[in-house]
């Protein structure tokens, strides 16, 4: 392969001047017929790694994709570039399926997106054996891991591709994989001889913020009002009921907020997803089932109102913010009940002991990130085996370092109180004991006579909840009996009770003043450039509406941002803008050049 051939496609078709990260080496590896395993952050350009080789090699590239929405989004975007792409999934009727199969057999496709369930059918494998194949791309490859958060059993059967089509190169791609998951991808997909490309997991444009769970809704609203008053975002909740309540609450406050969960009809989910993709400023409130593979580049924030289950899940979900490389927020509020619930789910699941241990260790790592007092990005990257030499300066702990205090004595009071009460009560009861509140249950149990009754009046109930959260998070206390939250001590608590260990705790802090952060979108635009940007965006919205496609499929905000700054006056100027390929230049160039010309003339300002 000539590198120049790949560069020509990159420039003329996709509108980019140069490859990023390891893209050039990955493309060369595939074109030359070798397998590859690629770990690249969300928004890093994974799709180009198989799309360009599929165009350079004879035959069709088969892309294994786990979600219908992702396939349709990708095919729509490729169609705008005159790339011959199609998808095959359960949403299609028989006639549409037959059309795709005929195009495949005739060699009329560059790329075919297909779900793993359909790919593994003998009918599909027979079709592929009668077709000329360029490559197989296995997207979201972490789905192969039984330890992962997006496990899909069908992914573990994809080694059949190597067995049935040994001469066809394969590429497995993911943005989320710790060392265990990488090893399992290699084993399950039989990629032992693959070239491995690991890019940085860092998403420097995302500001990570993790809050205590007290008054979470008020904190969330303050954050949205200060940072994202007109922006698109995703809010994750643990339950369907909470999704509905939060969406209704935001709607009552004047935001367009739509629920998304498995309890809604297929039609409602489809409509809500379509509005999220096609309209500006829509907030989706969803369970964690939402979003894998969503290509919308201008999601400016992802918020969690409950803890995810692991750092992998957290990284995958927050990675849906800022795919365009522009500043974005990952905001989370978590509380004691989240910790107790996830620990209970881990303890009482039907999984075997090995799986429980892995789940437990993943939860421990996530709680460690939440209770971190130093740079969160350093801890996050360290989990994936990457070293960041200096604090990032773009997380809440860097921007507003938390205070710590010696919580040993307070912890001993809690542990002693739990023990003396018989390890049969929950958090609220123990707090009432500590603060000396003589309620009916305490009097009935005669616990007002315990030596620990009233020994905690030096802290408020809210402060005690923070202390309890940290004790549970760090494994000194566990909660049994689902639905009752009964607390008991662990073996780890004994040295702390005896005074053999000390315990540093985080002090509760006020919410970060987010307006002082680095996350104001398009901060580099001057007032005049910002006006032009909005005119370009309005024109893009009109075009998108006419064509019934999401606006970002025409041009990303980043492209419009560059147009507003550079103010191209002719086709050659516009061709130099990132994201403007030849097809889009022909299709849309005149209209955007007219907007720029009209704007410059109206202002009577010199060309910049």
Residue 512: inside a domain = no
Residue 93 shares a structural domain with residue 187: yes
Residue 587: inside a domain = yes
Residue 437 shares a structural domain with residue 377: no
Q: Which pLDDT value is given to residue 445?
A: 92
Lookup: tokens for 337: 């009940």
Dist CA 462 CA 459 (whole Å): 8
Cα 382 to the chain's mean position, in Å?
18
Q: Which pLDDT value is given to residue 148?
A: 56
Dist CA 431 CA 480 (whole Å): 18
Residue 321 shares a structural domain with residue 414: no
Residue 9 shares a structural domain with residue 149: yes
Range of the domain at 463: 404-502
User: Hey, which of 94-98, 101-105, 336-340 has the most confident mean pLDDT?
Assistant: 101-105
Q: Are β-strands 133-138 and 170-174 bridged in parallel, bridged antiparallel, or unpaired?
A: parallel
Tell me the pLDDT tens digit for each residue of 424-444. Answer: 998 889 999 999 998 899 999
User: What number is the average pLDDT over the span 311-338?
Assistant: 90
User: What number is the average pLDDT over the span 507-516?
Assistant: 57
Q: Which helix (H) or strand (E) holds 95?
A: helix 94-106
Last residue of a domain, one of 181, 198, 215: 198
Residue 66 shares a structural domain with residue 165: yes
Lookup: tokens for 8: 């020509």
Residue 542: inside a domain = yes
What pLDDT band is residue 570 in, cutting at 50, 70 and 90? very high
Residue 367 shares a structural domain with residue 240: yes
Residue 508: inside a domain = no
Q: Which of 273, 362, 355, 282 is nearest to 314 (CA)?
A: 362
Q: Which pLDDT value is given to residue 517?
A: 39
Mean pLDDT (the chain) is 88
Q: Which pLDDT value is given to residue 464?
A: 92
Residue 257 shares a structural domain with residue 387: yes
Sign of CA dihedral 563, 568, 570, 571: negative
**How long, in residues, is the chain?**
608
Q: Which pLDDT value is given to residue 514?
A: 45
Tell me the pLDDT tens digit for each residue of 224-247. Answer: 999 999 899 999 998 899 999 999
Residues in contact with 9: Cβ distance below 8 Å, sequence separation at least 6, in sequence order = 52, 55, 56
User: What number is the average pLDDT over the span 303-312?
Assistant: 90
Sign of CA dihedral 496, 471, 433, 440: negative
Q: Which pLDDT value is given to residue 212?
A: 80
What pLDDT band is residue 510 in, cutting at 50, 70 and 90? low
Concatenate the DSSP letters of all residues of 296-353 into one string. Answer: -TTEEEEEESS--SSHHHHHHHHTTS-TTSS-EEEEEEE-HHHHHHHHHHHHHSSS-H
Choose the weakest-confidence range: 4-8, 235-239, 348-352: 348-352
Q: What is the largest CA-CA distance in the chain?
A: 86
Residue 349: inside a domain = yes
Concatenate the DSSP letters of all residues of 17-79 into one string. Answer: SS--TTHHHHHHHHHTT--EEEE--TTS-HHHHHHHHHHHSSSEEEEE-S-HHHHHHHHHHHH
Dist CA 554 CA 70 (whole Å): 17
pTM, whole model, 2 decimals? 0.82
Residue 363: inside a domain = yes
CATH of residue 268: 3.40.50.300
Q: Which pLDDT value is given to residue 135?
A: 97
Tell me the pLDDT tens digit for each residue of 466-503. Answer: 899 888 878 898 876 444 568 889 999 999 999 998 99
Q: Which of 562, 563, 546, 544 is nearest to 554 (CA)?
A: 544
Residue 127 shares a structural domain with residue 257: no
Residue 468: inside a domain = yes
| Domains of the chain: total | 4
- The per-residue b/e assignment along 209-233, b for 16 or more CB within 10 angstroms, e otherwise, is bbbbbeebeebbeebbebbbeebbb
* Res. 304: pLDDT tops 70: yes
User: What number is the average pLDDT over the span 93-119?
Assistant: 93
Q: Which pLDDT value is given to residue 312?
A: 87
Q: Which pLDDT value is given to residue 280?
A: 87
Q: Which of 72, 70, 67 is nearest to 154 (CA)?
A: 67
What pLDDT band is residue 11 in, cutting at 50, 70 and 90? very high
Tell me the pLDDT tens digit for each residue of 526-535. Answer: 788 989 999 9
Helix axes 353-370, 311-318, angle to 10 degrees: 60
Residue 394 shares a structural domain with residue 409: no
Last residue of a domain, one of 398, 417, 446: 398
Residue 467 shares a structural domain with residue 533: no
* Res. 29: pLDDT tops 50: yes
Dist CA 243 CA 320 (whole Å): 18
* Res. 513: pLDDT tops 60: no
Range list of H helices, 189-265: 216-227, 240-252
Sign of CA dihedral 555, 558, 564, 566: negative
Helix (H), strand (E), coil (C) string for 462-516: HHHHHHHHHHHHCCCEEEECCCCCEEEECCCHHHHHCCCCCCEEECCCCCCCHHH
Residue 520: inside a domain = no
Concatenate the DSSP letters of all residues of 523-570 into one string. Answer: TT--HHHHHHHHHHHHHHHHHHHHHTS-HHHH--HHHHHHHHHH---S
Residue 317 shares a structural domain with residue 172: no
Residue 21 shares a structural domain with residue 108: yes
Last residue of a domain, one of 349, 378, 398: 398
Dist CA 484 CA 425 (whole Å): 8
**409, exposed or middle or buried, with CB in 10 Å at 0-12, 13-18, 19+?**
exposed
CATH of residue 449: 1.10.10.10
Task: Give how far Cα 160 sits from Cα of 70, 152, 173, 566, Å.
Answer: 23, 16, 17, 50
């Amino acid at each position: 392969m000539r590198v120049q051939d790949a560069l020509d496609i990159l420039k003329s078709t996709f509108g980019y001047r140069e490859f990023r990260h390891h893209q050039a080496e990955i493309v060369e590896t595939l074109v030359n017929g070798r397998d590859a395993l690629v770990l690249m952050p969300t928004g890093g350009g994974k799709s180009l790694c198989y799309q360009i080789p599929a165009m350079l090699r004879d035959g069709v590239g088969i892309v294994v994709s786990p979600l219908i929405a992702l396939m349709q989004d990708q095919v729509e975007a490729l169609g705008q570039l005159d790339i011959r792409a199609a998808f095959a999934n359960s949403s299609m009727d028989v006639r549409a399926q037959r059309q795709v199969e005929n195009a495949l057999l005739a060699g009329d496709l560059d790329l075919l997106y297909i779900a793993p369930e359909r790919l593994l059918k003998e009918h599909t494998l027979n079709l592929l054996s009668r077709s000329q194949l360029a490559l197989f791309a296995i997207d979201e490859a972490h789905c192969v891991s039984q330890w992962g958060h997006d496990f899909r059993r069908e992914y573990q059967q994809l080694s059949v591709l190597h067995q049935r089509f040994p001469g066809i190169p394969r590429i497995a791609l993911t943005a989320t994989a710790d060392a265990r998951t990488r090893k399992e991808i290699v084993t399950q997909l039989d990629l032992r001889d693959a070239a491995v490309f690991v890019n940085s997991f860092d998403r420097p444009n995302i500001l990570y913020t993790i809050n205590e769970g007290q008054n979470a809704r008020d904190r969330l609203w303050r954050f949205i009002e200060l940072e994202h008053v007109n922006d698109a975002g995703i809010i994750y909740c643990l339950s369907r009921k909470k999704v509905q309540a939060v969406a209704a609450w935001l709607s009552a406050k004047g935001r367009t907020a739509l629920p998304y969960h498995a309890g809604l009809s297929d039609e409602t989910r489809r409509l809500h997803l379509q509005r999220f993709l096609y309209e500006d400023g829509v907030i989706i409130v969803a369970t964690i089932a939402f979003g894998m593979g969503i290509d919308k580049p201008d999601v400016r924030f992802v918020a969690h109102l409950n803890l995810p289950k692991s750092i992998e899940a957290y990284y995958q979900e927050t990675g849906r913010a800022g795919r365009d490389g522009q500043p974005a927020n990952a905001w989370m509020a978590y509380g004691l009940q989240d910790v107790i619930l996830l620990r209970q789910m881990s303890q009482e699941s039907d999984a075997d002991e090995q799986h429980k241990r892995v789940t437990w260790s993943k939860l421990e790592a996530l709680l460690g990130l939440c209770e971190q007092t130093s740079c969160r990005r350093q801890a996050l990257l360290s989990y994936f085996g990457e070293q960041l030499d200096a604090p990032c300066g773009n997380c809440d702990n860097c921007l507003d370092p938390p205070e710590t205090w010696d919580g040993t004595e307070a912890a001993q009071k809690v542990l002693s109180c739990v023990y003396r009460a018989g390890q049969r009560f929950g958090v609220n009861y123990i707090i009432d004991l500590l603060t000396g509140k003589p309620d009916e249950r305490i009097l009935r149990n005669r616990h007002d006579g315990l030596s620990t009754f009233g020994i905690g009046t030096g802290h408020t109930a809210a402060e005690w909840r923070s202390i309890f959260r940290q004790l549970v998070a760090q494994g000194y206390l566990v909660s049994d009996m689902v639905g009752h939250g009964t607390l008991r001590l662990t073996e780890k608590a004994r040295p702390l009770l005896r005074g053999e260990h000390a315990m540093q705790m985080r002090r509760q802090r006020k919410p970060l003043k987010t307006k002082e952060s680095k996350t104001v979108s398009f901060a580099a635009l001057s007032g005049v450039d910002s006006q032009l940007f909005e005119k370009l965006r309005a024109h893009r919205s009109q075009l998108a509406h006419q064509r019934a496609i999401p606006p970002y499929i025409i041009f990303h905000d980043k492209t419009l941002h560059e147009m507003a700054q550079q103010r191209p006056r002719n086709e050659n100027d516009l061709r130099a803008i990132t994201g403007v390929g030849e097809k889009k230049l022909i299709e849309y160039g005149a209209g955007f050049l007219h907007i720029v010309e009209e704007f410059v003339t109206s202002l009577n300002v010199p060309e910049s």
